[in-house]
Each structure stands twice: as C-alpha cells, then as structure tokens.
Chain A
Amino acid sequence: MNASEEFTVSDDSTILHVIEKIAKNGCRAVVVLKQDVVIGILSEGDIIRALLRGIDIHAPLSGIVQPSFKYLKETNLNEAFDLFKKYAISLIPVVNEKFHLMNVITLRDVLKKSKLV
C-alpha cells in the first residue's frame, strides 16, 4: 500500500509545499486531497509551467491544480503500465467508489515488476 503521506498534499497547501513533497518522494508528482477525496494530481511539469507563468511559490496550489486526472479503481499494474506509456505520467492514484485514496501506483512500481529491469 503506497497511500502514505509522502504522495499526498492537502488542497490548501502552497506550491512550495508541493515542491518539497515531490523533492522527497522522487516520483515527480503528488496526489491532491480535499477532505480525503482525490481532486487532482500535480506533477513537476505542472509546477514548472506555473513557475514559467510567474506564479509565486507561496501561492496556494488550488490555483493550478486541474480536476481532470487519470485514475484506476483497483491496483492493476498492467493497466497502470498502459496509462504510463500512453500519457507519459508518473503516478496513478487508485480510488474507491467515493474517490478516497486506496493506493498510489508509481512508474517505479511498474518498472520494478518489469522483466526488462
């Protein structure tokens, strides 16, 4: 179970906090939660684009998080692999019926299982 705090931030966090999380978790993205509900994903790329637009790192992340994201309903590494490959993402949340976070699949999880590695 990967749903630990290192992969999540609360929706009232600052962009700086997101950067700190990403720096530590090493998977280039975090899951954004609002009262336990997954509301989006923020990636390194999202942050870089926001910084390029001149956003302050102390600004709330709510200004840049997009509500659209890829997710799975169960931990299935094959499906996750397809999504990673197709959309060049690095993290996929696994959610239940009410979008509570059940697990996080990272690109590294999938690569570890791959026969090539």
Chain B
Amino acid sequence: MHLLPSYGLSIQEIKDDGFESLEEIYMSLEGHNHFTMTKSLGVFLSSFVDVLGRTKPDWLILAGDRGEQLMGAVAGGYTYTPIAHIQAGELSGNIDGHARHAIGKMSHLHFASNKDAAERLRKLGEEEFRIHMVGAPQLDELAQGLYTSKAELEEKYSLNLSKPYLLIMQHSVTEEYDQAASQIEATAQAVNQLDVLKIWIFPNNDAGSEAIRKGIYLNKKGSTHVFANLKREDYLGFLKNAACIVGNSSSGIIEAPTFQVPAVNLGRRQANRIQGGNVTNASYVVVEIVKAIEKACLVEFKNSLKGLANPYGDGFSSARILEVLKTTKKDTRLLCKQLTY
C-alpha cells in the first residue's frame, strides 16, 4: 500500500523520516475483494521470505493485526527469524483479530499495550518471559508533541479550523464488505446533517474499500475536504484539534484519549477492544450516529474528559521495547517456543 500512488505513496514519508528502504515489494492485486486481498497476501509472502533470506535481520518486528504482518509472521516463524510483535494480545472485532492471535503464535516476543492484552496472551498459552507490557508505541509521538499545529494546518491546506470540525475515517469491515456501501452512506448522511467542516480520510485497501471511497466522493456536501493519506504529524494535528473523530478507526480508541478528543465509534470493527471514557458507540443507523456525535460534541462531555488516563499507555513505549530487544538473548529458549497450554 505504501507504494501505491492512489494511497498517497506513503513510502516517501518513511524515507523523509530518515529510514532507508531495503526492499520494496509490489503486492496489491486490483479488485478489492476477499479473493484478490488473499491472493495479494500470497504475493507478499512469497516475496518477503526472499527478503528475509537476503537480509537476515536480527529481529523481525511486526506491529498490529493486519494480513501483511501475518504473512511476515509465517515467513519469520518458518525461517526461525526472531519475531517481536507490537500490540500483541488485543482483541479486534474482525478477521484482523484472528490475524493478531495467529501472529502471536509465531512470535517470540510479545509487546502488550495493556494488562488485558498481556493476560490474554498468558491464557493463550504464551510463556511468561515472552510477554512484556509496554503500552502502545503510536502514543509516543503524541507524548513528544510530534504533531502539526492548528495554524500550520490552516496554512498548508487552506482551511479555517477556528470552528469545531469532524474528522471522519471509516474502513470497510472485511466480513461485512458487501455492506461497505450502505455503511458509508449512513455515516455520510449523518455527518452531512451537521453544519460543520468535515475532514474525511480515505480508508485502507481492504475488501470493500472501493465502495467506501466511492461513497465518500458521491456524498460530499457543504464544507468537506477529503485526503488520501495525510502525513502522520498532520493527521495527529487534525485529531488533536477535532471536535470529534467519527468512524471505525482504531485511532479513536487508542490515540484520541491522549488528546482527550471524543470519539464516535461505529459498528463492530473495534468490538471488544478496551475503550477509554472518550468513546461513544453507535451502529450504522443515521439517527443513532447523529445523536452520538451531538452527545460527543457537548461541552459537558468534552469537559468530563479532562485528566482522562489512556488505557493504552503513557507514550513511552518505544524506549521500553528497544531495551527488551537489546537485552533479549536470541537463543534456543527464545526460538523454540513451548506452549504452556
């Protein structure tokens, strides 16, 4: 996805941060359905295992719960490459959740973002020495203030952010991809009932994403701006200053609490994830979404979030992860896993 112009060619952002890209793999087949998605993962797996063979990394570090990471875990596991998994053990409400646990089975180290996730890893039969509770590293940038200021955003994108605005990000849910069009329709109709600036971010490229993009395009109304892929610091700037984040992105659950920004979480994509006090849940019904956004935007609600602790950590995860990676011996005990259950 990072290599695709239609997703904003985000590889450039990684390079701009000073990272070198060792290899670039084209993997995405057109179609955006379950079959092309799975076949794309197969393309990735067959290329990625050769990358491991050529580069022989000290650690293969996988973050999250996506199919691409699962392919990484398969390649790493069978080649006995040490694997560390960030945001291990959490629940997510769709096939990504299954992928997360499958990644965990192949991983040698688990970095959990909260107690609940660490406990789940134990129950899943993972050995105690492999489990480290470190928090969610995507909060580190928030804690370090690595986000664009409101004034810079206004200048860069020619926007007036002085009034409340909604940040909306909706991905397709792979099990419900045939409903992606009606789901985005409901969200768009709901936000269009509110006379505020709407900032939409395009979804990832899961099955159903084409329907979401089309739905966003055809339902644009009033003051609306759409972005394919914002720079991370710009995205965080928009999130920090938003009246509310709407949709089914994990950002509303994991990142928004740090900024004390209300989130309206739609549908089941984030089901069973630990939620902070900033989250209001709604299903894909227009009146329900409107009601949830109105509640989330109330001053009393916003005030109630002051001092809110983020269940996903304090924003100092990276240093903890690095320390564990530096001090863990890559020996037989690490590489030959024993399942405790």
List residues of A whose CB falls within 8 A of some B CB: 34-35, 37, 39, 50, 53, 55, 62-68, 70, 83, 86-87, 97-99
Contact = CB atoms under 8 A, between A and B. Distances in A.
A102 B6 CA distance: 26
A86 B33 CA distance: 41
26 contacts: A34-B218, A35-B218, A37-B217, A37-B218, A37-B220, A39-B217, A53-B5, A62-B6, A63-B6, A64-B5, A65-B6, A66-B228, A67-B200, A67-B202, A67-B213, A67-B216, A67-B217, A67-B227, A67-B228, A68-B157, A68-B227, A87-B158, A97-B221, A97-B222, A98-B220, A99-B221
A35 B218 CA distance: 8
A18 B235 CA distance: 30
Given A37-B220, A68-B227, A99-B220, A63 B158 contact: no
A69 B4 CA distance: 19
Interface in B190-242: 200, 202, 213-214, 216-218, 220-222, 224-228
Given A34-B217, A37-B218, A39-B217, A66 B224 contact: no
Nearest to A53: B5
B217 to A, nearest CB: 5
B58 to A, nearest CB: 32
A70 B156 CA distance: 11
> Could you tell me the dominant secondary structure of chain A's interface residues?
loop
A82 to B, nearest CB: 9
Contacts of A66: 8, 228
A67 B5 contact: no
Contacts of B8: 66
B129 to A, nearest CB: 46
